[in-house]
Amino acid sequence: MSKIVSNQVVLEPQDTKRLSSLCGPFDDNLKQIERRLGVEINYRNNEFSVHGDPLQANGASELLKLLYIETQAIKGSVPVLEPNQVHLAIQEAKCLERAEAGDYGKEVHIKTKRGVIKPRNPNQSKYVSNVVTHDITFGVGPAGTGKTYLAVACAVDALERQEIRRILLTRPAVEAGEKLGFLPGDLSQKVDPYLRPLYDALFEMLGFEKVEKLIERNVIEVAPLAYMRGRTLNDAFIILDESQNTTVEQMKMFLTRIGFNSKAVITGDITQVDLPRGAKSGLRHAIDVLSDVNDISFNFFSANDVVRHPVVARIVQAYEDYDAEQDAIKAQLRAQKDQQDQQPKKD
């Protein structure tokens, strides 16, 4: 049976409004921490006691201190600590328990309107490190694991440090169950909704006005994958998003666009392919073909790396479990069939 410890945490300076923001309505924030980290939290005024497994209790204690810092008054007003902020902080606390060095995420620190962007778990930290140190990096995994967001952060960081001269963001304009034809405008306007997540990440990191100016000067270019053909991209940071929807030919075309002093990050989720039936995903093919090529890194994320609403991680995990179960059933049926085929036939 694991040892149970009791940590005492005193939050200074004592402030009723800040403590109320930390605990949340009806102590909802504390209950979320208790539920997610498996600890028990009691408090009186600004004195908190955390009971549980040593690693979890230590993580929860540090978490309370970090969250209390987040409640510092801005222009005389104490900010309300939202549940999603607590959720993301818990993700970091879990990683602090697992990471040996505890200093992941030092490669990229970008100040935005929402604070500093940094990896929130060891897998994200390794991903960012590989982006910094490799010419081509693949980020493969389910939605919500930060693949695209961190790639854009790395691109912005490289641009701000003048390591590159331009950022190019692209994704295939594949119809995910809908048809493009009915949408108004030319091809560029038709595919614009598909590129919106990339715009949103840029707006959050640099601000709307700065992004618009950089787009006007062609320092930032957001375009469908079809526009990449025939180009050679030097001194650029190129991100291919939703790469599971590229064909084998498109993936090869994209990878051969990369020029001198350029980096490429390819992100995708091989469980959400929207290509026509029978067409092989360029991302799946690239994983098979390029796994042993130098200067190319592959990073695989799972449900444990999801940094969105907690239910998203559970949804992803449920699908992964279902797929694993189906694969096991298929393997068992194939083994039975092979066994039957090997039995001698009666005359």
Query: pLDDT grade, residue 268 (50/70/90)?
Result: very high
pLDDT tens for each residue of 1-27 = 456 788 999 999 999 999 999 999 989
pLDDT digits (tens, 9 = 90+) for 139-151: 998 888 889 889 9
Choices 3.90.950.20, 3.40.50.10490, 3.50.50.60, 3.30.1370.10: CATH for 5-98 = 3.30.1370.10
Mean pLDDT of 34-39: 80
pLDDT at 121 over 90: no
For the domain spanning 110-308, the CATH number is 3.40.50.300
Phi then psi for residue 331, to 5 deg, are -65, -40
| pLDDT value at residue 309 | 59
pLDDT above 50: residue 208: yes
- DSSP string computed for 157-212: HHHHTTS-SEEEEEE----SSS-STTSSSSHHHHHHHHHHHHHHHHHHHH-HHHHH
Query: Is residue 188 over pLDDT 60?
Result: no
How many residues comprise the chain? 347
Q: pLDDT at position 101, please?
A: 39
Q: Is 345 left (phi over 0), alpha (psi -120 to 50) or beta?
A: beta
Strand partners, 168: 221, 238
pLDDT for the residue 186: 54
CA–CA separation, 33 and 9 (whole Å): 15
Q: Which residues of 229-255 are buried (b: 16+ CB within 10 A; e: fewer)?
A: eeeebeebbbbbbbbbbbbbebbebbb
Do the domains 5-98 and 110-308 sit in the same CATH topology, yes or no? no
Which position has the higher pLDDT, 193 or 276? 276
* Helical spans, DSSP H, in the chain: 16-23, 28-37, 54-70, 83-98, 122-133, 147-160, 187-206, 208-216, 248-255, 282-290, 310-342
Encoded tokens for 17: 């409004």
180 pLDDT higher than 50: no
To the nearest whole number, what is the mean pLDDT of the chain?
A: 81
Domain spans in the chain, listed from the N-terminal domain onward: 5-98, 110-308, 312-347
How do residues 42-85 score in pLDDT, each as one tens digit?
999 999 999 988 888 888 898 999 999 989 887 778 888 888 78
